[in-house]
Structures are given as structure tokens and as C-alpha cells.
Amino acid sequence: MANTMRKLSINTWISLIVQLLLISMLPYLIYRKNYIYAGAALLAILAAYAPALMKRNFNIQLPWFLELAITIALFLHVGGLAFHWYSRFRFYDSVLHIWGTMIIALLGFMMVYALYYLGKIKLSIRMIAVFTFIFALAIGALWEIAEFTIDHTLYTHAQLSNMDTMSDLIFDGLGGAVIAVLGMWYIRKTPEKRINEHIAKMLNRRV
């Protein structure tokens, strides 16, 4: 029990440090007069606190590793814009697309299984996997639409070419597929009682 509390405490501190680094980028971007990226940083800061708002307003507690993964992904995205990591590192954009989509797919998987656990829907394991994949790919497509819109309204250069856009969507699909397959494996290999305990803990319910 003590080791678990210590582990949670360490992960909480890591998440807090990453959040502070993310916040510190906002005044830097304003100072450099990168107001568009400053706006992106502000949205990322708000998104980083979304899990805390979910816990306070809806009594939903995401796993610590997922909260940390979300915060790190947001930090790397804003850092990529602020310090040009996207252009400096060859596979930076591709890796971040896969990672970000895996997080989104995992959120989709947890959401649909929570609805299944509550008896709101009835789906087979394969259909849960299909939903996970489609959900991740749909969010990826919306992201590309947002980039296209911003490029043509604010004259940014998020989408360099059709190849860049299609590569992003392919990597989004890859990230979604990985989580869909791992999700099916997890459900089949893990006792239903244990899965229900995890979902109940996330929803702050008793099994």
C-alpha cells in the first residue's frame, strides 16, 4: 500500500512538472509575438486540466498513466510549435500522431466499455474494437480539417502537402488499430470481474 501511494505521488509530481512546463511556454510565445501558437498553448493548458475537471464535475477518475500521457502529448505538441521540433526532427510529427491517436483511441475504448459495463449498450468484443478504431480515425480526420481551416484563415502552414495530410491520417489509423487490437486482447485475457473493478474505480462506483 505504501509503495502504491509513493508511486502515485511520484506520477502526480511528474504530471505537475510537465503541466508547469506547458504553462511556462505561454508567456514565452507571447514575448516572441507568436500569438497563434500562444493561443494553441492556452488551449493545450485548458485541455491538460480536463481530467481534473472531469473528476470534479462528473466524478470520473482517469487512470494516472492516461492523465500523464495526455499532459506529455500536449506539452510535446506545443513545444513542437514553439521550438520548431516538428521541422528539426524527421519523425517527430509521425510519432506524435501515433501517440496522440493511441491516447484518443484508449479514451474511446474506455468510454464504450464503460457504457457496456453500465448496461447502456450491447456490443461484442469485435464491435468494441471497430468502434475504437473508427473513433480514433474520426478524431484524426477532424484534426486535419481543423488544420486546413486554420491554414486558410490565419495563413499558417500546418499542412505542407497532400502527402503530409494523408501520412497523418495513416498514422492516426495505425494508432487506432494498435489500441483496438490491444483492447480486444485485454478483454479476452483479463477476467471480467477485474475489468469491472477497473471501470467501477474510474466511475467511482462499487462493483
Half-sphere exposure of 137 (CA within 13 A, CB side): 15
Burial class (CB in 10 A: 0-12, 13-18, 19+), 136: buried
Burial class (CB in 10 A: 0-12, 13-18, 19+), 23: middle
Please give the pLDDT value at position 170. 94
The residue-averaged pLDDT of 130-154 equals 91
Are 71 and 11 in contact by the 8 Å Cβ rule? The answer is no
Contacts of 81 (CB under 8 A, 6+ apart): 34, 37, 40, 41
The residue-averaged pLDDT of 11-36 equals 85
pLDDT higher than threshold 70 for residue 8: no
The residue-averaged pLDDT of 158-181 equals 90
Specify the DSSP class assigned to residue 82.
H
pLDDT digits (tens, 9 = 90+) for 30-66: 988 888 888 888 988 888 888 877 777 777 788 888 8
At residue 75 the predicted structure's pLDDT band, cuts being 50, 70 and 90, is very high
Closest among 94, 83, 75, 92 to 165, alpha carbons compared = 94
DSSP string covering 8-73, please? HHHHHHHHHHHHHHHHHHHHHHHHTT-HHHHHHHHHHHHHHTHHHHHHHHH-----HHHHHHHHHH
Residue 164: count other Cβ atoms within 10 Å of its Cβ.
13
Are 61 and 202 in contact by the 8 Å Cβ rule? The answer is yes
Q: Which stretch of 49-58, 97-106, 137-146 has the lowest confidence by average pLDDT?
A: 49-58
What's the mean per-residue pLDDT of the chain?
85
Give CA–CA dist 15/65, Å, rounded: 9
In the block, cell 486482447 appears at: 185
Please give the pLDDT value at position 195. 84
At residue 145 the predicted structure's pLDDT band, cuts being 50, 70 and 90, is very high
Cell reading at 169:
491520417
Give CA–CA dist 175/72, Å, rounded: 17
pTM of the model: 0.83
Please give the pLDDT value at position 207. 55
The residue-averaged pLDDT of 83-103 equals 91
Burial class (CB in 10 A: 0-12, 13-18, 19+), 154: exposed
pLDDT higher than threshold 50 for residue 2: no
Give CA–CA dist 153/139, Å, rounded: 21
Q: Where are the domains of the chain?
A: 1-88, 90-207
The residue-averaged pLDDT of 75-80 equals 91
